[in-house]
Chains A and B, each alone.
Chain A
Amino acid sequence: MSAIRVILVKDLRIELRTLQSLPAMGLFCVTTFVIFRFGLDRTSLEGSLAAGVLLVTVLFAALLAINRLFVAERDEGGFDAIRLAPIDGTALFFAKVLALFFYLAILEVIALPVFAGFFLDDASGLLPLAGIMLLLDMGLAATGAVISTMGANSRARDLLTPLVLLPLLIPLMIAAAGATEPLLAAGGPSYDGVGTWVLTMALYDLLFVLVGYATYEFVLED
Chain B
Amino acid sequence: MSANIQATTSISTSKRSLVTEPVVAARSLRRDYGEEPVIRDLSFELPTGETLVVLGPNGAGKSTLLRMLATLLRPTSGDLNVLGAELPKQAWKARGRIGYLGHDALLYADLTLREALHFHAQLHAVEDAESRITSLLSQVGLERRTGQLVRTLSAGQAQRAAVCRCVLHEPELLLLDEPRAHLDPAGYGTVEPLIGRASGATRVVVTHDVEGGLADADRALALRANGAVAYEGPASGLEPADARTIYAERPR
Say yes or no: is A6 at the interface (Cβ < 8 Å to chain B).
yes
Closest Cβ–Cβ distance, residue A24 to chain B (whole Å): 16
* Cβ of A11 to closest chain B Cβ, rounded Å: 10
Q: Is B74 in contact with chain A by the CB < 8 A criterion?
A: yes
Q: A73: nearest residue on chain B (CB-CB)?
A: B108
Scoring A residues 1 to 39 as 1 if CB is less than 8 Å from chain B, else 0, what string do you get? Answer: 011001000100110011000000000000000000000
A3-B123, A222-B72 given; A86·B92 CB < 8 A: yes
| B16 CB to nearest A CB, Å | 28
A118 to B161, CA, bound (A): 51
Q: Is A68 an interface residue (CB 8 A)?
A: no
B70 lies within 8 A of chain A by Cβ: yes
B142 within 8 A of A: no
B104 and A82 within 8 A (CB): no
A10-B111, A72-B110, A76-B109 known; A87-B104 Cβ under 8 A: no
Check A80 against B110 for contact (C-beta < 8 Å).
no
B11 touches A (CB below 8 Å): no
Residues in B whose Cβ lies below 8 Å from that of A40? none
Asked if A81 lies at the interface with its beta carbon under 8 angstroms from chain B, I say yes
Majority secondary structure of chain A interface residues (helix, strand, loop or mixed): helix
- Nearest to A14 among chain B residues (CB) is B110
Contact among B96, B98, B105, B108 with A10 in the assembled complex (CB-CB below 8 Å):
B108
Name the B residues within 8 Å of A80 (CB-CB).
70, 72, 100, 102, 104, 106
Flag whether B73 is at the interface (Cβ < 8 A).
yes
User: Would you call A193 an interface residue if the criterion is a C-beta within 8 Å of the partner chain's C-beta atoms?
Assistant: no
Given A72-B108, A80-B72, A6 and B95 touching (CB < 8 A)?
no
Scan residues 81-103 of chain B and give those whose CB is less than 8 A from a CB of chain A. 88, 92, 95-98, 100, 102
- A: contact size bracket: 20 to 34
By the criterion CB–CB under 8 Å, are B95 and A85 in contact? yes
Instruction: Tell whether A78 is near chain B: CB-to-CB under 8 Å.
Output: yes
Q: Judge whether B122 is part of the interface by a CB distance below 8 angstroms.
A: yes
Within 8 A of B (CB), among A196-222: 221-222
Instruction: Give Cα A86 to B126, complex, Å.
Output: 11
B132 at the interface (CB under 8 A from A): no
Chain B residues within 8 Å of chain A by Cβ, number? 29
Q: Which of A13, A76, A221 contacts B104 (CB 8 A)?
A: A76
CB closest residue in chain B, given A15: B110
Residue numbers in B under 8 Å from A84 (CB-CB): 70-72, 95-96, 98, 100, 106
Check B178 for interface membership: any CB of A closer than 8 A: no
B181 is an interface residue with CB less than 8 A from chain A: no
B247 within 8 Å of A (CB atoms): no
Main SS of the interface on chain B? Answer: loop
Q: Which residues of chain B are within 8 angstroms of A72 by Cβ–Cβ distance? A: 108-110
Task: Name the residue of chain A whose CB is nearest to the CB of B124.
Answer: A85
A167 within 8 A of B: no
Residues in A whose Cβ lies below 8 Å from that of B102? 77, 80
Verify A222–B73 contact, CB threshold 8 A. Answer: yes
Contacts of B98 in A (CB 8 A): 84
**In the complex, which residues 141-162 of chain A have their Cβ closer than 8 Å to any Cβ of chain B?**
none
Q: Are B72 and A6 in contact (CB under 8 A)?
A: no
Cβ–Cβ contact B73 & A78, under 8 A: no
Kindly state whether residue B143 has any CB partner on chain A within 8 Å.
Answer: no
Contact B74 A13 (CB under 8 A): no
**Whole-angstrom distance between the Cβ of A2 and the nearest chain B Cβ:** 7
Roughly how many angstroms separate A77 CA and B100 CA in the complex, as a whole number?
A: 12
- Cβ of B248 within 8 Å of any chain A Cβ, yes or no, is no
B120 beta carbon closer than 8 Å to chain A: yes
CB neighbours of B72 from chain A (8 A): 80, 83-84, 222
Q: Are B123 and A13 in contact (CB under 8 A)?
A: no
Q: Is the CB of A83 within 8 A of B71?
A: yes
A16 to B18, CA, bound (A): 57
Please, which residues of chain A bring their CB within 8 A of the CB of B96?
A: 84-86
Of B100, B115, B122, B123, the most chain A CB neighbours within 10 A belong to B123
B interface residues, Cβ below 8 angstroms from A: 70-74, 88, 92, 95-98, 100, 102, 104-111, 115, 119-120, 122-125, 165
27 contacts across the A-B interface (CB closer than 8 A) = A6-B122, A10-B111, A10-B119, A14-B108, A14-B110, A14-B111, A72-B108, A72-B110, A76-B104, A76-B105, A76-B109, A77-B107, A78-B106, A80-B70, A80-B72, A80-B102, A81-B165, A83-B71, A84-B70, A84-B100, A85-B96, A86-B95, A86-B124, A87-B123, A221-B88, A222-B72, A222-B74
